[in-house]
Chains A and B, each alone.
Chain A
Amino acid sequence: MDIKHAFTILIVDDNIVNLKFMEKTLEKEGYQVITTDNGADARTLAMEKRPDLILLDIQMPGGDGFEVIRFLKGTLVTSTIPVIFLTGMTDVNSKLKGFELGAVDYVTKPFHPLEVLARVAIHLKLSIATNSLIANQAMRLKEITEAQTSMLPLPKDFPQAKFGVYYNALHEAGGDFYDVLSISDKITGYFVADFSGHDIKSSYMTASIKALLAQNSNPVYSPLETMKMINDVLMEILSKNKYLTACYARLNRTTGNLCIVSAGHPPVVLVPVTGDPQLIQVDGDVLGMFKDAKFGVHRMRLNPGDRFFIYSDGLVESTRQKITWNTGAQTLLTKFKKIRHLPLSKTSSALVKSLFSGGAVPEDDIVVLCVEV
């Protein structure tokens, strides 16, 4: 017969009689009990043993209960453990302070064992329900991540598009998105976008953007028209203050013509076979914010072997170091000397690696799309 997991309760009370009283009360109902008579040990035991619930006296030597709960709630591994105050205090302010600091309940002394047992049981049930909810939400977020990733095309699936990609979402619901569209045999569209925020809504929006791109990218529409049509739809479906920066590049491999449309996005980097890398700075409004948005357009002719990079601001921007993508993009150019001759499949990740080699840590989602003509 399986023995069910026994819940562990940590009791903290400087009164030995009360401690024993509570220990006996809980042990006879099948709980595993750990006890201590001071706040300092309570902190250590809570971190080491990770009890399912803590019964905590307010007035104790070595830091009162308020200090202990402040520590527990501020410590990652103990922050979710429900804490019930054991208190002789009857004044409302003490109780409110306890709740404010994160206590789930209190028991006023003298307490009756049955009352304590009832309160412990109800808060364990709530804790179980909350943990189950969290596990469920984590699973759903994982599904969103998987769904989001499955929407991103891989180079091996589109060999004619000749691209390499690096994609890393910092959160389960990423805010960056890219797509590669076969408009005709020789014409390919490359799209990179960055949603404001990383919430769940953004992750659902990526599916909408992908559908809009597929509907509005064809040989008849110019890249600018495609972006304008997407903008019109986004104006209807995006919530207020929600927008995205985006870059849409369309390459015709027969003519070598490249058309770049920018919606408030960091500049494309051109790495020609001969000559120095250069930024293609194109100004434009963001997508989904203005009805009559003006997008920047840049047209140029490329040669076989030339490469261009479209990326999200997470590659060059740093809030901590106060670097905006405008200034960050300038430093980007120096990194291409070493990576320009790498195989296409390795270039994007090599670029990211070179930028974050000195201990710097990405602060945002990153997508880097490298395309070869």
Chain B
Amino acid sequence: MIEYEPLFPGAAMNFKAMASKLGFSLEDFIELVQLLITTSQSELLTVEKELAAGSSAGVSRAAHSIKGAAGNLGFMHMADLAREMETLANQGNTGNMDKIKKKAAALKADLDLIKKAGDKGY
């Protein structure tokens, strides 16, 4: 089992630097981050429902969506988790369900960290 490091180990989340890297103002970047949080939370709920229903296709779709959005904004750790969830789901192996759940939990933890950072106005 792969254990994940915290989202930004040893460093505070620097939204200003991330925004600057993408050429966005901090204001615009925070707006995008808030949108990412909202949509990803919704997608994680979908993952839970689809896992309960045993639908790997639904899990794959939701993970794919999170992967693209997080990756574009520079949250690569979160994007990697989503990519791994998508890969596991695409394997269509019922034995992967637990692994997906763990990764979803790690992803949720990432989201919480991002949310907290946003609340602090980073």
Contacts and interface: CB of A to CB of B under 8 A. Distances in A.
B65 A15 contact: yes
Interface in B66-113: 67-69, 71-74, 76, 79
A372 to B, nearest CB: 77
Interface string A112-156: 111000000000000000000000000000000000000000000
Contact of A109 (B22, B23, B28, B68): B68
Interface residues of A, number: 18
A292 B53 CA distance: 84
Contact of B24 (A18, A110, A111, A113): A113
B41 interface: no
Interface string A252-278: 000000000000000000000000000
Contact of B69 (A18, A24, A28, A114): A18
A14 to B, nearest CB: 8
B32 A109 contact: no
DSSP class of B's interface residues: helix, strand, loop or mixed? Answer: helix
Given A17-B39, A113-B23, A88 B64 contact: yes
Contacts of A114: 23
Contacts of A16: 35, 39, 69
B36 interface: yes
Nearest to B74: A110
Contacts of A17: 32, 35-36, 39, 68-69, 72-73
Interface in A62-120: 88, 109-114
Contact of A112 (B22, B28, B31, B36): B22
Contact of B73 (A14, A21, A28): A21
Interface in A164-219: none
A111 B71 CA distance: 8
B39 A113 contact: no
A36 interface: no
Contacts of A110: 68, 71-72, 74, 76, 79
Contacts of B67: 88
A25 interface: yes
Given A17-B39, A88-B64, A88-B67, A111 B72 contact: yes
Contacts of B64: 59, 88
B73 to A, nearest CB: 7
Nearest to A88: B68
B68 A20 contact: no
Contacts of A113: 22-24
Given A110-B72, A111-B72, A25 B36 contact: no
Contacts of B22: 112-113
Nearest to A86: B68
B9 to A, nearest CB: 21
Interface in B18-66: 22-24, 28, 31-32, 35-36, 39, 64-65
B74 to A, nearest CB: 8
Nearest to B22: A113
A21 B71 CA distance: 11
B120 to A, nearest CB: 21
Given A15-B68, A88-B64, A109-B68, A20 B35 contact: yes
A16 B92 CA distance: 27
A124 B30 CA distance: 30
Contacts of A18: 68-69, 72
A17 B79 CA distance: 13
B28 to A, nearest CB: 5
Contacts of A111: 72
B65 A20 contact: no
A169 B113 CA distance: 72
Top 9 closest pairs, chain A to chain B, by CB: A110-B71, A17-B69, A110-B72, A109-B68, A17-B36, A113-B23, A17-B35, A24-B28, A21-B72
12 contacts: A14-B65, A15-B68, A16-B35, A16-B39, A16-B69, A17-B35, A21-B69, A24-B28, A88-B67, A110-B76, A113-B22, A114-B23
Given A21-B72, A113-B22, A113-B23, 6 more contacts: A17-B36, A17-B73, A20-B35, A25-B24, A88-B68, A111-B72
Interface of B: 22-24, 28, 31-32, 35-36, 39, 64-65, 67-69, 71-74, 76, 79
